[in-house]
Amino acid sequence: MTLTESKTHQLGISLNNADDDGNVDENIKIGLEIHCQLTRLDTKLFCGCFSNYRDIKPNENTCPICLGLPGSLPLLNKKAVEYASMMCISLNCNIPEKITFYRKNYFYPDLPKNFQITQYNSYELSSIGYDGLISYYNEKVESDSEEKSKGKTVRIKRIQLEEDPGKIIYEENNSKINNYCLIDYNRAGVALVEIVTEPDFRNANDVRLFLNKITNIFEYLGVSDPNLEGAVRCDVNVSVKGGKKVEIKNISSFKDVEKSIFYEITRQKTLSMHEISVKSETRHWDEKRKITIPARTKEEEDEYKYFPEPDIPRIVLGLDYREKIKNNMPELPIERLKRYVDIHKLSDHVSDILINNKKISDFYEESLKIYNSPKEISNWIVNELLSKTNELEKDESPDNQSNKHRGFISQVTPQQIADIAKLIEEKSINRNIAKDIFGKSIKTGESPLKLIKNVEIEKIQDSETIRRYIGEVLSNEKHLIEQSSTNPNVANFILGKIMKKTGGRADPQLTLKLIRESIEHK
């Protein structure tokens, strides 16, 4: 049994990457190199400069260390190692007893030292993580009268901790050729985790599912904010029909990752159809034209002349390091999902919606602290709050433009959700009235409780008042009394009439009881 096979058996995961029809396109192989900045760190990987460089003027967040000036010595950020280890554990990777940093030598303007401090696994397994495996898609399917799980997985080849280079800015002008570019070194030295997968993907849709899954994990771990510009970047390796691997760089969004894969697969298939060989090269994604363009021939590993970083000694983590980190990790999405299903008794569908966005899940958790009713709280969040928010996002009217950018969290608080859930469960108001008030609350930003005070919403529970409404309906439609002896649904019809007259405020159970009494005595 291979190491990967052993891990799949241990985790109970099946290496099934078939599409929805059960087919696997063996002619297409897609691998990813995901670069995730550890944005939650205060400082860079090897120096004391700020990790958050985004609001600082160009080249003002630098020091001799991140600029690579002679005589400067790097000092490893301990917290960065811990964060990277958490990411390894969440992706079921092994963590070695010792880790080593290497120099990756190449010249590029955004690399002030002319080398990058990274990790390398050629001589020994010394990167922060290796040989991982994660399921990124699960669906319940019925087979032979039993419910089974159909999943898709990807193998993680390695995870390495390294420094981010600076940022090159190409000036746009009307000339056909740009004669210069600008370089901002504020980003140089920021802690970066690179996740390299095996070529286990067969289509662009699966890649998008996987990227959504792991960025959600990063948020739950609290190591990175994927919403920040450039915080999570992805390079793609594509090969078709056993051809040479083509790397695609310079992709700015997950949506463009999908588009670049679609384009590159089509390009390589077209070349193959015309018996033109595919070059092993690096191509850039042209965001405007939505095509890949040649950048350079693909480098081989030996061209980088890796050797151990002499200024950073080998780091001894120890045998129990992984367990120590794991014991202090926050709850992962898969763990929270299990808790919602097993303890809160929520459906798989509702639980999936909640955990797939940490802000929504945290909002649900805060609401539960105020009023502990998991099903009612989740119902209001999933079926009302999110659907209303989606409606607002699609509304292009001028009156709605200010609402679109406020976000549902800023408009509705957990206290308001808890209050409405409590009012419903205590039967102080009916659900239809609550929905109407809730919709107004999202649009106006006002508190639902404030809106409730401005309208008559208390249930009518006075028997004499309800009898008066019943009498009005029966006097106007006397034929209903005759029909009631042969049609048991007449009582419900009368109930509907009364609910309409009272705006849904009449107590339905009491009203139905009084309707039947009135019919019997007529």
Which helix or strand (DSSP H or E) is residue 510 part of?
helix 508-521
Fold of domain 463-521: Arc Repressor Mutant, subunit A (1.10.10)
Instruction: Report domain extents, the chain.
Output: 33-233, 331-453, 463-521
Strand 232-240, strand 115-118: pairing:
unpaired
* SS3 at position 199: coil
The more confident residue out of 357 and 435 is 357
* SS3 at position 194: strand
Question: What are phi and psi for residue 445, nearest 5 degrees?
Answer: 85, 0
Q: What residue type is assigned to position 375 of the chain?
A: K
Q: Backbone dihedral region of 86: left (phi > 0), alpha (psi from -120 to 50 degrees) or beta?
A: alpha
Q: What is the pTM of this model?
A: 0.81
How would you label 292-327 residue by residue, b for 16+ Cβ within 10 Å and e otherwise?
beeeeebeeeeebebeebeebeebebeeebbeebee
CA 280 to chain centre: 33
Residues 94-113 have pLDDT tens digits of: 999 999 999 999 888 899 99
Residue 244 in this model has a pLDDT that exceeds 80:
yes
Residue 396 in this model has a pLDDT that exceeds 70:
no
Looking at the chain, the whole-number percentage of residues with pLDDT higher than 90 is: 57
Q: What sign has the CA pseudo-torsion 110, 260, 205, 384?
A: positive
What's the CA gap between 8 and 133, in Å, rounded? 7
CB 330, CB 126: distance < 8 Å = no
- Among the listed residues 150, 123, 49, 134, the one whose alpha carbon sits nearest the alpha carbon of residue 87: 134
Residue 4 in this model has a pLDDT that exceeds 60:
no
Alpha helices in 395-489 (DSSP H): 401-404, 408-411, 414-425, 431-444, 448-453, 463-476, 479-484
CB 376, CB 424: distance < 8 Å = yes
What's the pLDDT score for residue 441? 74
What's the CA gap between 312 and 12, in Å, rounded? 39
The average pLDDT across 285-297 equals: 91
- Counting DSSP H helices and E strands in the chain, the numbers are 19, 15
The average pLDDT across 336-346 equals: 97
Which helix or strand (DSSP H or E) is residue 270 part of?
helix 254-273
Q: What residue type is assigned to position 241 of the chain?
A: K
What the block records as the tokens of 434 is: 């609550």
CB 112, CB 188: distance < 8 Å = yes
Round the average pLDDT of the chain to a whole number and report it. Answer: 85
The average pLDDT across 210-222 equals: 96
What's the CA gap between 24 and 22, in Å, rounded? 7
Q: Classify residue 124 by its DSSP letter.
A: S
What's the pLDDT score for residue 485? 72
Residues 6+ apart with CB under 8 A from 274: none
Residue 496 in this model has a pLDDT that exceeds 90:
no
What's the CA gap between 497 and 160, in Å, rounded? 68
The average pLDDT across 271-287 equals: 92
Residue 143 in this model has a pLDDT that exceeds 60:
no
Residues 6+ apart with CB under 8 A from 233: 34, 35, 251, 252
CB 188, CB 162: distance < 8 Å = no
Residues 450-486 have pLDDT tens digits of: 777 666 556 677 788 888 888 888 888 877 877 777 7
Question: What are phi and psi for residue 120, nearest 5 degrees?
Answer: -150, 140
What's the pLDDT score for residue 141? 39
Strand 246-249, strand 281-286: pairing:
parallel
The more confident residue out of 503 and 431 is 431
What's the CA gap between 512 and 509, in Å, rounded? 5
How would you label 15-51 residue by residue, b for 16+ Cβ within 10 Å and e otherwise?
eebeeeeeeeeeebbbbbbbbbbbbbbebbbbbebbb
What's the CA gap between 339 and 412, in Å, rounded? 25
